[in-house]
Amino acid sequence: MADAKYDVLGIGNAIFDVLVQTDEGFLGRHGMTKGGMALIDEARATAIYADMGPATEMSGGSAANTIVGIANLGARAAYVGKVRDDQIGRLYTHDIRAAGVAFETPAAAGGPATGCSYILVTPDGERTMNTYLGAAQDLTASDIDSAQIAAASVIYLEGYLWDPKSAKEAFVKAATIAHGAGRQVALTLSDSFCVDRYRDEFLDLMRKGTVDLVFANEAELHSLYQTSDFDTALKQLQSDTKLGVVTRSEKGCVVASKDGAVAVPAFPIQKLVDTTGAGDLFAAGFLFGLVRNAGHENAGRLGALAAAEVIQHIGARPQVSLKELAQQNGLPV
């Protein structure tokens, strides 16, 4: 196997985040399901935006947040996602490149605007997302550069890609190329509503070996196996995939493989501000540990550390050097 040019390459919906701190009343007025992610059209996006207070705006998208975290830890990272050649698309491209990520996907000249997610953060730190996919849903198999995919140790895919049909084809093409080059493929299940929509397809990807590593939180795991019993679901996960990592909020995480399960505690925090990006940054730390051959337990600890940093401020991108933070906590970087 040739040496990798990139440690991790992520493929996802390139989404610009608009975050605002609000109350339960706002969610009720707009008929939103707290804690979920709803796909919306441009008209609803405009209505929500018009009613929002002052916002924090930054590049986002689940896999993109993970890839930025990986670059922040000091690994070589690349990202594939579709934006439109518009003001927000150009801002998005600048942001992700400035974070040290290789981003070469050609912007769309026409069609829908760059995707946006309107993220409402309630006082308990819970985030409720309303996503207009826009140009992100026009990612196609032709945007997958075979040489770039084959040059990455791990390909990281987000479950949200399963919503647009052409992105699904891009996902499968990338996984096939990666395996052909002897690389690993990781999938994050994204959210429990996403799992409800595509349960059978996700299980199929796992059981056929299209993906080698699966990230899920407890809600997604329970949704995947339609059981409220954690141990039952975990056993099933162990038999369905080579490596499964389940995040459990303040309870930490469980890393499950054919050899057994390892529980890793959460990192202590001072104040929960905003859970946006917690799972994304956990995946960043874990994948970084994996490509550095740090072992499952240290990978879990790196994930816990990165997640703890991001939930203590607004926004889904790290605000300090995760590499320095890891060093201060005696973790391998």
pLDDT, tens digit, 9 for 90 and up, residues 286-297: 999 999 999 999
Q: pTM to 2 decimals?
A: 0.94
Given a cut of 60, whether residue 1 has pLDDT beyond it is no
Whose tokens are 């995919």? That residue is 149
- Candidates 277, 224, 289, 278; CA nearest to 249 is 278
Give the Cα separation of 198 and 165 in Å (integer): 12
Q: Cα–Cα–Cα angle for 323, 267, 212, nearest 5°?
A: 70
Q: Mind listing the pLDDT tens digit for each residue in 37-54?
A: 899 999 999 999 999 989
Q: What is the pLDDT of residue 116?
A: 96
Span 182-188, average pLDDT? 97
- Candidates 148, 186, 178, 182; CA nearest to 282 is 186
Partner residues linked to 130 by β-bridges: 38, 118
How distant is the alpha carbon of residue 279 from its chain centre? 7
Give the Cα separation of 327 and 332 in Å (integer): 7
Q: First and final CA of the chain: distance in angstroms?
A: 24
Give the Cα separation of 161 and 167 in Å (integer): 6
Residues of the chain with pLDDT > 90, as a percent, come to: 88
Cβ neighbours of residue 147 under 8 Å, at least 6 residues apart? none
Give the least confident one: 44-58, 77-91, 209-223.
44-58
Q: Mind listing the pLDDT tens digit for each residue in 119-171?
A: 999 999 999 999 999 999 999 999 999 999 999 999 999 999 898 889 899 99
**Which of 35-44, 267-276, 300-309 has the highest average model confidence (pLDDT)?**
300-309
Span 270-296, average pLDDT? 95
Q: What is the CATH number of domain 6-15+61-113+134-328?
A: 3.40.1190.20
Question: Who wins on pLDDT, 58 or 289?
Answer: 289
> Dihedral of CA 10/12/15/17: which sign?
negative
Given a cut of 60, whether residue 227 has pLDDT beyond it is yes
**At 315, is the pLDDT very low, low, confident or very high (cuts 50, 70, 90)?**
confident
Residues of the chain with pLDDT > 70, as a percent, come to: 99
Span 32-37, average pLDDT? 91
Given a cut of 80, whether residue 2 has pLDDT beyond it is no
Q: What is the pLDDT of residue 163?
A: 86
**Per-residue tokens: 164:** 């647009």
> What are the residue boundaries of the structural domains of the chain, listed by start?
6-15+61-113+134-328
Q: What is the mean pLDDT of the chain?
A: 95
- H/E element, 8: strand 6-11
**At 314, is the pLDDT very low, low, confident or very high (cuts 50, 70, 90)?**
confident
